[in-house]
Amino acid sequence: MRIVVGIKWVPNTQAVRFDPKTGTLIRQGVPAIVNPHDFPAVELALRLRDAYGGEVIAVSMAPPPAIQGLEHVIGMGVDRAVLLTDRVFAGADTLATSYVLYHGIRRIEKEIGKVDVAVFGQETIDSSTAHIGAQVASWLGWPYVYYVKNAKLDGDRLVVTRQLEDAVEEIAVELPAVISVAMRALKPRPVTLKNKMRAKVEKPIIVWSNKDLGLDPRCVGLKGSPTIVAKVTYLPEVPRKKLVYKPKDPKDAARWILKNLFLDEKTGPLLRKVLWGDSGA
Amino acid sequence: MTQVPRVECDKLCPEWPCEQPEEFRHVWVVAEVTRNGIHEASLQMLTPARKIAEKLGNKVIGVLIGYNVAGYAEDFIKHGADEVIVVDQEELESYDPYVYGQVVVDLAKKYKPEVILVAGTMRGREMAPYIANTLRAGITADCTDFDVDEKERDVLLIRPPFAAIMLAYIRTPFRRPQIGTARPAVFPTPPRDEGRKGEVIYEKVKTLKPRTTILSRTILEKRDVPIEKAQIIVSGGKGVGGPEGFKILARLADILGGVVGGSKKAADAGWIPHERQVGQTGKAVKPVLYIAAGISGAGHHMIGVREAGRIVAINIDPEARIFKQADYGVVGDYKEIILALIDELERLKKQGPEALKELLGEESRE
Ligand SMILES: Cc1cc2nc3c(=O)[nH]c(=O)nc-3n(C[C@H](O)[C@H](O)[C@H](O)COP(=O)(O)OP(=O)(O)OC[C@H]3O[C@@H](n4cnc5c(N)ncnc54)[C@H](O)[C@@H]3O)c2cc1C
Ligand SMILES: Nc1ncnc2c1ncn2[C@@H]1O[C@H](COP(=O)(O)O)[C@@H](O)[C@H]1O
């Protein structure tokens, strides 16, 4: 089977620092990484390939540095990758992003061969919308299932297990299909030296620009995005006491906290009640 | 407010129909139906729907899809819907995101709603982007508030952006309907009014042939008090370091008759279930007391505790952002401090209210 897996190249939100003096975010020099929630998706794609044969193709719409991210997943064992990159793709919201990914998948089908499954991560760390999988499925006209923890082939259907808030379901999906893999569902395999070398030497990464895809520039990037950030404001601050205490030892800390909470008109009565019931109130 | 110039249809993507905004009216809430009726989170969406509808001079319309669901239309109305559109057909017995999504799409093409709101439950988050995309409309996930630019009739879909300390106002000026989701418990459930009346419209639709089959379903047990209902929450973050640390937090929560919650990092690491995550992509909580241990105080997290009565922060880093947003902050290792809190509380509990004199008396003696 041929499996496409979507990879997003995101700023490492963990590396964003806060400047307590100016009250602003320090984003300068924040490195980009592969969206961590995409690794379980890569792992599931690789397991399907290992079990049933075929190939895994990673696809990303991103600026050129994302090549590093694609090399990383090739290092994990992905067979090849496609980078969809063009200035006109910049500033895309999820509709415009899914539109480009859809045409990328269609072109993969034309140039390489029929795709059986498109696998996505549950969500990204920088926007966490979880839109892309459903949107790509809508463009392709394929069935789709979210929050997948595992998948196996059963004849010409894929049988997936997925977990929702209230139930665990086993679902058979006709192929071709889109699935999105729950975060932490599977432990991703490490990068191997052999695969890493292959990424560097064989360079199995195809780069397509909008010249190759031939999309109307009005339908991609910022222009093709129906949603617009119209305004950004600071959140009005909630008044807080902001007392900060450096205790001598843990017991001192505990006593300081409790003293304040018992004396506080908001929390004092509740604490008396939970400790001693009505006799404390 | 940045003025967003209206754009001529021929300047927009030709693949997406150019809508005439004035043809679109009313605010829809698409229901998720559970075994016990309309999902609480869907009823909660009636709260922002009402606010938007009032500003636009619109009606709030519930959309109810499934099999043997017509009886729930009354619940929608009693909680604030003016009308309900019901699609009750045997083929819709089990939820499938694109079959259900396509029903909403077909209804939306017929009725042209101005706004569609969907509760951001797991099923809602699965289905809503499909609806939006198939209508070639914009969608904004995990909104924490909604407002309206009445002149342009644009809904402002409000969410904290990347590494939030701010709010982004998102609008979809050229496309209708305008679609948004919000997580459960971000909005309150509107009170039930037994006297409310409203119209119920029955629709029959052609459904897609499902291409998925549910082979088995195991119902999960509901655990504990949901955090949005708790009066005291002991919450942990990345700094708690693992599931062992959360056991200590649980002991403190037990003594206080409270529950355990946590940050997204704690939930993503699997230390707490996702329904106990506080914040934009978790829940908004309103406890009297919120104790945050090993949580840095990111905007995405703090937006979930804006309505907490008092916030206690325990963090090892004196520069941690949370100290600027807490009432009582203590610098130190959460583990030692929480263990000391447990000891003190156990002692106080045993000795009775009299024991407080010694603790509180210190203040006056100093
Ligand atoms: C679109 C989007 C939505 C998001 N939604 C949410 C959301 O709903 N909820 C949410 O929580 N986050 C959300 N986030 C993530 C958010 O931006 C932060 O990354 C997250 O809240 C940080 O979690 P944390 O405070 O547990 O971890 P960190 O930021 O890593 O902080 C850990 C803290 O622990 C302290 N610490 C370490 N060891 C100890 C110790 N022994 N004792 C005491 N303190 C210690 C450290 O000093 C540090 O301050 C969202 C992000 C995005 C992009
Ligand atoms: N630009 C992109 N290129 C490739 N895949 C993407 C891109 N953006 C999102 N995805 C995929 O879609 C999933 C959900 O992303 P999101 O809808 O942005 O939360 C991610 O986990 C990725 O698998």
pLDDT digits (tens, 9 = 90+) for A73-95: 999 999 999 999 999 999 999 99
Shared domain check, B141 and B48: yes
Q: Determine, yes or no, domain membership for B222.
A: no
Q: How far, in Å, is the centroid of ligand 2 from the Cα of A124?
A: 6
Q: Which residues of A touch B122 (CB under 8 A)?
A: 146-147, 164-165
Q: What is the pLDDT of residue B364?
A: 44
Which of B130, B160, B256 shows the shortest C-beta gap to A274? B256
Q: Which residue of B has its CA nearest to A21?
A: B319
Q: What is the pLDDT of residues A217-239, one digit of tens each?
A: 999 999 999 998 888 777 778 89
**Pair B84, B181 in one domain:** yes
Contacts of A252 (CB under 8 A, 6+ apart): none
Q: Give the per-residue pLDDT at B362.
A: 56
> Beta strands B33-34 and A24-26: pairing type?
unpaired
Examine residue A204 and say whether the peptide bond preceding it is cis (omega within 30 degrees of 0).
Answer: no
> B49 and B99 in one domain?
yes
Burial (CB count within 10 angstroms: exposed 0-12, middle 13-18, buried 19+), residue B37? middle
Instruction: Please answer whether residues A83 and A205 qualify as being in contact, where contact means their C-beta atoms are separated by less than 8 angstroms.
Output: yes
| B196 and B256 part of one domain | no
Helix/strand/coil percent split, chain B, to 5: 35, 25, 40
What is the count of structural domains for chain B? Answer: 2
Go through the domains of chain A in sequence order and give each one's CATH number.
2-219 (3.40.50.620), 237-281 (no CATH)
Residue found under tokens 């439950």: B121
CATH of the domain at B112: 3.40.50.620
Query: What is the pLDDT at residue B111?
Result: 97
| Residue B215 in domain | no
My answer on whether B146 and B247 are in the same domain is: no
Q: Which two tokens stand for residue B297?
A: 């105080």
Can you give the CATH number for the domain in which B300 is found? 3.40.50.1220
Residue B332 lies in a domain: yes
Specify the pLDDT at position A22: 53
Within 8 A by CB and 6+ apart from B332, the residues are A246, A247, A250, A253, B314, B316
SS3 B249: helix
Is B97 within 8 Å of A128 when comparing Cβ atoms?
no
Residue-level pLDDT at A14: 67
Half-sphere exposure of B111 (CA within 13 A, CB side): 23
pLDDT digits (tens, 9 = 90+) for A152-206: 999 999 999 999 988 999 999 999 999 999 998 999 999 999 999 999 899 899 9
Q: Are strands B33-34 and B83-88 parallel, antiparallel or unpaired?
A: unpaired
For residues B182 and B59, state if they share a domain.
yes
CA distance A260 to A151: 53
Write down how long chain A is: 281
Predicted confidence at residue B365, as pLDDT, reads 41
Backbone angles phi, psi at A175, to 5 degrees: -100, 150
Please compute, for residue A53, the number of CA atoms within 13 A of its CA located in the half-sphere on the CB side.
0
Instruction: Give which of B88, B56, B57, B121 is closest to B200, Cα–Cα.
Output: B88
> In this complex, do B215 and A95 lie within 8 Å of one another by their Cβ atoms?
no
Could you tell me if B187 and B231 lie in one domain?
no
- Look up the domain containing B360 and give its range: 227-365
Question: What is the distance between the alpha carbons of residues B312 and B39, in angstroms, rounded to a whole number?
Answer: 33
Per the listing, tokens 């459960």 go with B184
The reply to whether B192 and B265 lie within a common domain is no
Same-domain pairing of B238 and B173: no
Residue B147 sits in the same domain as residue B235: no
Atom of ligand 2 nearest to the CA of A119: 23
| Closest to B264 (Cα-Cα) out of B288, B291, B299, B289 | B299
Question: Does residue B327 belong to any structural domain of this protein?
Answer: yes
Please judge whether A261 and B312 are an interchain contact, meaning their C-beta atoms are less than 8 angstroms apart.
Answer: yes
Q: Which of B125, B168, B341 sits opposite A257 (nearest CB)?
A: B341
CB atoms within 10 A of CB A111: 11
Tell me the average pLDDT across A2-22. 78
> Could you report how far apart the first and last alpha carbons of chain A are, in Å?
68
Q: Hey, which residues 108-137 in chain A have their CB within 8 Å of chain B?
A: 126-135, 137
B211 assigned to some structural domain: no
- How far is the C-alpha of B118 from the C-alpha of B179, rounded, in Å? 8
Asked if residue B236 is part of any domain, the answer here is yes
On whether residue B265 sits in a domain, the answer given is yes
Is 60 exceeded by the pLDDT of residue A19?
no
For residue B6, the one-letter residue type is R
- Asked if the C-beta of B175 comes within 8 angstroms of chain A's C-beta atoms, the answer is yes
pTM of the model: 0.88
pLDDT in tens, chain B (366 residues): 555 666 777 788 988 877 888 899 999 999 999 988 999 999 999 999 999 999 999 999 999 999 999 999 999 999 999 999 999 999 999 999 999 999 999 999 999 999 999 999 999 999 999 999 999 999 999 999 999 999 989 999 998 765 556 788 999 988 999 999 999 988 999 999 999 999 999 999 999 999 999 999 999 877 677 898 899 999 999 999 999 999 999 999 999 999 999 999 999 999 999 889 999 888 989 899 999 999 999 988 998 999 899 999 999 999 999 999 999 999 999 999 999 999 999 999 999 998 998 888 855 443
Strand partners of residue A148: A162, A181
Q: Which helix (H) or strand (E) holds A160?
A: strand A157-163
- Asked if B144 and B240 sit in the same domain, the reply is no
Q: Kindly give the number of the ligand 1 atom that is closest to the alpha carbon of B241.
A: 38
Per 3-state DSSP, chain A is made up of helix, strand and coil in percentages (nearest 5) of 40, 30, 35
- Give the ligand 2 atom nearest the CA of A133: 12
**A165/B275 Cβ within 8 A:** yes
Q: Does the beta-carbon distance from B163 to A13 stay under 8 Å? A: yes
pLDDT of residue B366: 39
The string of pLDDT tens digits covering residues A25-67 is 566 677 899 999 999 999 999 999 999 999 999 999 999 999 9
- CA of A73: how far to CAs of A12, A38, A195, A207, in Å? 17, 10, 9, 16
Q: Are B195 and B233 in the same domain? A: no
In a domain, B130, yes or no: yes
Residue B220, burial from CB neighbour count under 10 angstroms (0-12, 13-18, 19+): exposed
Residue A125 CA, ligand 2 centroid: distance in Å: 10
CA angle, B137 then B101 then A38, to 5°: 75
